Chains A and B, each alone.
Chain A
Amino acid sequence: MASKTGFIRQTAPYLREPKANVKRMMYDVILALIPVVCFAFYKYRLNGLMIILTAVGSICLAEYLYYKFKKKPGTLKNGTALISGIIYALTLSDSIPLWAVFTGGVAGVYFSKLVFGGMGANIFNVAGFSRVFVMLSFGPLMQYKVDTVMSSTILGIANKTTAVTTLGNVSLFEMFLGINEPGSIGETSFLIILLAGIFLGIRKSLDWRVPVTIILTVFGLSFAVSLATGGPLLTYPMFTILSGGLIFGAVFMATDPITSPITATGRIYFGFGIGAITYLIRLYGALPEGVVYAILIMNMFTPALDYYKWSNPKFTKRSITIFSAVIIATVILVLVGV
């Protein structure tokens, strides 16, 4: 006999990939951040911890109150606020007062995420935006006064002395480990962040295309400079990718899928753009941590890279030609700057 009831409507497909869910991705990112946080704690003790707690608190609180006020369901559960908070904290210097951390967090999440309509609708990376907000508003407070000799990161030193020839006394290996290297509280240990990145890559919780292209671009451009100036062929490029927040930005900020383009090709252009802008900032401006600016600038280009008339999941002859031309132009620009 035919049953009269008991059926519900659903449309094909009737199966879903069990491993594909937002929670898994977010937990993975949190897991990957734990060692970085521990390292920050090891290096900066209570001060580091307070900065992290304040940053997380400010972003979560702002988001919570915003949705409470709007009488909409809360969104803290999805973990994005927590992650943004941690990442934001890790980009700050240990000398920053906590009230500045708090203000930056609230303003950052409000202007970069909440006003756009919450998770998924933001154009700018929340952590990056908050960090830049702090930098612009309270810049002088962000002194890196860790080392008696260096008043800025190693990067700042390298820029002042205009690079290439005077790298001898910086140990690449020490930079790789990041134990004694000054910098933002979480950005310094290349090794830990690299491992975190590999973990996320294996878990497919980040798109390897973005960090890999960024690193390759910076490496390539600095290699070209080395070649042109007759500097230390490999030491200088290695130094460039090891210093500053490059790897941190590449692994934890640029890979934020919400603010990256939606196609594989777009993500490669995006990574290239971040790498190139970071390098240009280092070359022309004396700004350390150009990577955050680069990410925010490329965030602005994301909608353009996704514009339906030219977004394409595969490379075409035309896009390869244009891309090659852009690469060549960038190299020329860099070489003119040296």
Chain B
Amino acid sequence: MIRKTNKITVDEKLRKNLPTVEIDPPEKVYITLIEMRLNSYELDVKEGDKVKLGECIGVKDGGFFTENIFSTVSGTVGQIVKKFNYSGKKVECLEIINDFQETKADTIKERTDQEIAQLTKDQFVDIIKDNGIKGLGGGGFPTYIKFATDAKIETIVLNGIECEPYMSADYQLVKKNSYEIFGGLKYAMNSMGISKGIIGVKETKKALLKALRKVQAEHFSDLNCEIIEVQDYYPQGWELELIKNVLGIKIKQGTLLSDYGLIEINVTTAVAIYNAVKYNHPVVERYFTITGTAVNKPCQMKVKVGEYVPRLIEAAGGYKTKEDKILVLGGPMMGANLLLDDAIIAVTNTSILVFEKGEPAEEPCIRCASCVYSCPTLLQPVQIMNAFKCKDIEAIKKLKIFNCIECGLCSYVCTSKIHLTEYMRKAKKLAK
């Protein structure tokens, strides 16, 4: 095939109408202490201490920014253990033994509408920072940094796209929490003095559009917010792609959104902002999807942050096979591969996929150019691969490898089934 591809063929059985299951509260949760960009931490609690749900128990530090650590259950602090997280590596996690009381932290209290209306920008940013809110679409970038900008922000774009196939966390959220989405948006707009809000949703998600429009008409008709339908293709959820489609602004890769007077956040993040501002409540649980060819009962559910992966797999009916399978934390295009399921769910994770073995055999490149035609960042993956094979760093840089967003499309489309995206990652490392 020689063509531009931006539609991912999926197995509809693994995507449509997944049942929602209830999962028993966990006996233990594991709170990640080390994360991407956050490589050291300080804990305010020690083994045996009592903690409450939503209590701040320490802080992670990444040099340029920090992030508070929260307990997602009430109970007793256990040991520091090592578990896999979405990085695909074992990292230190704090074990908390659940007392099943769900006693809320003292810091969680409701703010009155009047208090909220009077929040200044700095206070708003502090609330978001204190509640450890970050990009919940999977990006994980600290949200307070986006808002702490000195630039004048005109427009805020909420990303309701969920572009990778098989994921449904945002879908569940928008359907059930439309009110909170608008609430978060309104708080952000008011305190930041932002005049316009936009929510981008795929035109194919009629149920979501309906839910959002209904809430908007009933409660937020005075908010200057527009719900914009965009086409359903991949990677529509990439922020630059979404902004191009909802606002018609072409943003140069590597520049800051704030330079264009823009902020972009995920809808899940907007709900988190609502809860943080209204109740001073950090994120302790989230919507989640488990699917794939190698689990018995693909399903969706609400999980505690810090849940243990084998428990979730069990809730999804267990693995279909004991043989070789591929475990993925995240989406099928960009998710992380786990080599053991001794892993935990972090706040940014949205799905687990388990596939049967099936990496196709590679053939020599026939130079069909599908990878070039399909790359959303207009790179030439095959040429980068060739440059990488010759270790030609100059060429790799000139071919703009650092613009690659690792969306996976080049591997997906390759006629010869070459794993180009992996070459892109290697080339990036080489050129660094």
Verify that A and B bind, or say they do not: yes
For chain B, the count of residues having a C-beta within 8 Å of the partner chain is 71
Also in contact, A25 and B332, with CB within 8 A (given A2-B341, A3-B319, A263-B380): no
Chain A residues with a Cβ under 8 A of chain B: 1-4, 6-22, 24-25, 78, 118-121, 204-207, 257-260, 262-264, 267, 306, 308-309, 311, 313-314
Q: Are B333 and A308 in contact (CB under 8 A)?
A: no
Also in contact, A308 and B360, with CB within 8 A (given A3-B310, A7-B338, A264-B372): no
User: Which residues does chain B contribute within 8 Å of A205, judged by CB atoms?
Assistant: 1-2
Partner of A204, one of B2, B328, B367: B2
Stretch at the interface among B200-208, B238-246, B417-425: B417-425
Also in contact, A262 and B372, with CB within 8 A (given A8-B326, A257-B367): yes
- Tell me if B77 counts as interface (CB < 8 A to partner A): no
Also in contact, A7 and B1, with CB within 8 A (given A15-B333, A120-B366, A306-B383): no
Q: What is the minimal beta-carbon distance from A165 to any residue of chain B, in angstroms?
A: 42
Q: What is the minimal beta-carbon distance from A328 to any residue of chain B, in angstroms?
A: 28
Partner of A4, one of B3, B5, B340, B355: B340
User: Which residues does chain B contribute within 8 Å of A263, judged by CB atoms?
Assistant: 369, 372, 380
Chain B residues with a Cβ under 8 A of chain A: 1-3, 5, 8-10, 165, 309-310, 319, 321-328, 330-342, 353, 355, 357, 359-360, 363-370, 372-373, 375, 378-380, 382-383, 387, 395, 398-399, 406, 408-409, 411-417, 419, 421-422, 425
User: Which residues does chain B contribute within 8 Å of A120, judged by CB atoms?
Assistant: 364-367, 416
Q: Are B357 and A8 in contact (CB under 8 A)?
A: yes
Closest to A302 in B: B367
Closest to B331 in A: A12
**Which has the most chain B C-beta neighbours within 10 Å: A6, A11, A207, A309?**
A11
Partner of B337, one of A12, A24, A306: A12
Partner of B417, one of A14, A21, A206, A207: A21
Q: Are A22 and B366 in contact (CB under 8 A)?
A: yes
Q: What is the minimal beta-carbon distance from A275 to any residue of chain B, in angstroms?
A: 20
A20–B357 CA distance with the chains assembled, in angstroms: 19
A13–B368 CA distance with the chains assembled, in angstroms: 20
Q: What is the minimal beta-carbon distance from A80 to any residue of chain B, in angstroms?
A: 8
User: Which residues does chain B contribute within 8 Å of A6, judged by CB atoms?
Assistant: 319, 321-325
A11–B328 CA distance with the chains assembled, in angstroms: 9
User: Which residues does chain A contribute within 8 Å of B366, judged by CB atoms?
Assistant: 22, 25, 119-120, 257-258
Also in contact, A19 and B323, with CB within 8 A (given A262-B380, A262-B382): no
Q: Are B378 and A314 in contact (CB under 8 A)?
A: yes
Closest to B397 in A: A308
Partner of B334, one of A10, A12, A20: A12
Q: What is the minimal beta-carbon distance from A197 to any residue of chain B, in angstroms?
A: 13
Closest to B330 in A: A12
User: Which residues does chain A contribute within 8 Å of B406, judged by CB atoms?
Assistant: 12
Closest to B164 in A: A13
User: Which residues does chain A contribute within 8 Å of B367, judged by CB atoms?
Assistant: 120, 257-260, 262
Can you offer 20 A-B residue contacts whose CB atoms are under 8 A? A2-B310, A2-B341, A3-B319, A6-B325, A7-B341, A14-B353, A15-B165, A16-B412, A16-B417, A20-B5, A20-B413, A20-B414, A20-B415, A20-B417, A204-B3, A259-B367, A262-B367, A267-B369, A313-B375, A313-B378
A328–B334 CA distance with the chains assembled, in angstroms: 47
Q: Are A9 and B369 in contact (CB under 8 A)?
A: no
Partner of A14, one of B309, B340, B355, B382: B355
Closest to B10 in A: A15
Partner of A16, one of B309, B360, B387: B360
Partner of B398, one of A2, A20, A308: A308
Q: Are A257 and B2 in contact (CB under 8 A)?
A: yes
**Which has the most chain A C-beta neighbours within 10 Å: B322, B353, B365, B375?**
B365
A207–B369 CA distance with the chains assembled, in angstroms: 9
User: Which residues does chain B contribute within 8 Å of A8, judged by CB atoms?
Assistant: 324-326, 357
User: Which residues does chain B contribute within 8 Å of A20, judged by CB atoms?
Assistant: 1, 5, 370, 413-415, 417
Q: What is the minimal beta-carbon distance from B74 to any residue of chain A, in angstroms?
A: 25
Closest to B375 in A: A313
A267–B3 CA distance with the chains assembled, in angstroms: 13
A262–B360 CA distance with the chains assembled, in angstroms: 23
Q: What is the minimal beta-carbon distance from B292 to any residue of chain A, in angstroms?
A: 9
Partner of B1, one of A9, A25, A78, A264: A25
Also in contact, A12 and B1, with CB within 8 A (given A6-B322, A7-B338, A306-B383): no
**Which has the most chain A C-beta neighbours within 10 Å: B339, B383, B415?**
B415
Q: What is the minimal beta-carbon distance from B35 to any residue of chain A, in angstroms?
A: 19
Q: Are A13 and B411 in contact (CB under 8 A)?
A: yes
User: Which residues does chain A contribute within 8 Å of B383, judged by CB atoms?
Assistant: 262, 306, 308, 311
**Which has the most chain A C-beta neighbours within 10 Å: B319, B372, B414?**
B372
User: Which residues does chain B contribute within 8 Å of A308, judged by CB atoms?
Assistant: 380, 383, 387, 395, 398-399
A336–B154 CA distance with the chains assembled, in angstroms: 60
Q: Are A121 and B380 in contact (CB under 8 A)?
A: no
Q: What is the minimal beta-carbon distance from B360 to any residue of chain A, in angstroms?
A: 6
Q: What is the minimal beta-carbon distance from B296 to any residue of chain A, in angstroms?
A: 14
Partner of A18, one of B9, B325, B399, B422: B9
Having A2-B342, A120-B366, one finds 14 other A-B pairs with CB under 8 Å, namely: A6-B325, A7-B339, A8-B324, A11-B425, A14-B335, A15-B9, A15-B165, A20-B1, A20-B414, A21-B415, A21-B416, A25-B366, A119-B366, A262-B382
Q: Are B421 and A12 in contact (CB under 8 A)?
A: yes
Q: What is the minimal beta-carbon distance from B213 to any residue of chain A, in angstroms?
A: 32
**Which has the most chain B C-beta neighbours within 10 Å: A9, A17, A314?**
A17
Q: What is the minimal beta-carbon distance from A137 to any residue of chain B, in angstroms?
A: 29
A13–B407 CA distance with the chains assembled, in angstroms: 8
User: Which residues does chain B contribute within 8 Å of A314, judged by CB atoms?
Assistant: 378
A229–B367 CA distance with the chains assembled, in angstroms: 42
Closest to B8 in A: A15
A258–B413 CA distance with the chains assembled, in angstroms: 17
User: Which residues does chain B contribute within 8 Å of A306, judged by CB atoms?
Assistant: 383
Q: Are A25 and B341 in contact (CB under 8 A)?
A: no
Q: What is the minimal beta-carbon distance from B393 to any residue of chain A, in angstroms?
A: 12
User: Which residues does chain B contribute within 8 Å of A311, judged by CB atoms?
Assistant: 380, 383
